[in-house]
Structure 1
Amino acid sequence: MHHSLFLMGAPGGGGNSSVLLIYLGLMFVVFYFFMIRPQSQKAKKQKAFMSNLQKGDKVVTIAGIHGTIYKINDDNATMQLEVSPGSYLKIEKSALSMEWTMAQQKAAEPTK
């Protein structure tokens, strides 16, 4: 029963709406910091990743196909991916996995 006293606020019910507004405000702040902000930061990183791609980069697609960028096509939305010597696939840039590509590039770096 002590929970209902807390939510009621001041006698007369006037404090009830202010407590509710505080809860809603706190929920929005938490939602922003745990959902909206990380998503926008990830989108910025993805955009930077896509714009920095160049011939010779080793990449991984979202389907798990590993290859090397052979050519970025004139439309700037597709590329030729060399999957084995002399074997090429035309893929959309959006089909690349930033996370898997970064993990693969880290694994390929020599340890110091």
Structure 2
Amino acid sequence: MYLLTQQAAGQGNVLMSLLPFVLMFAIFYFLLIRPQQKRAKTRNMMLANVKKGDKVVTIGGLHGKIVELTDDTMVLLVNDSTRMTFNRSAIDSVVSSAASE
């Protein structure tokens, strides 16, 4: 009888010692991992939905209008005659969409 109560107490101690780790993982998941996944999903959707005519800002801060677009590159019209080629992933944000103009 005494042996059974020691085993039950030992199992309770194991669960109680794991509880802080489970709580820390849950906190990290809801405060760090989940929001980062949501931001990545939103960015991937934005990159997938850009089209010719959209005005964008690159990660480096360059403003331009998309004149050519492939699966992995884009050509930006920076001024009347300057065209620059960038990776599609270099887009930081879409300033205005061609559909809204």
Q: TM-score under structure 1 normalisation?
A: 0.70
- Identity among equivalent pairs (%): 40
RMSD: 1.9
Quote the offset at 1:20 in angstroms: 2.0
Structure 1's unaligned 5+ residue stretches are 1-12
Q: Is 1:40 matched up with 2:37?
A: yes
Q: For 2:85, which of 79, 90, 93 is the aligned residue? A: 90
Q: Which has the higher contact order (CA 8 A, sep 6+)?
A: 2
Q: Spell out the pairing of 1:60-75 with structure 2 (5 A cutoff).
A: 60-73=57-70
Q: Is 1:81 matched up with 2:83?
A: no
Could you give the per-residue CA deviations for residues 39-73 of structure 1, whole angstroms, max 9, x where no partner exists?
11111111110110001111111111011111103
* Distance across 1 between alignment mates of 2:17 and 2:88: 46
AA at the equivalent of 1:21: L
Structure 2's unaligned 5+ residue stretches are 1-8
Partner secondary structure for residue 84 of structure 1: coil
Q: TM-score under structure 2 normalisation?
A: 0.77
* Higher normalized strand content (fraction of residues): 2
Give the length in aligned residue pairs. 88
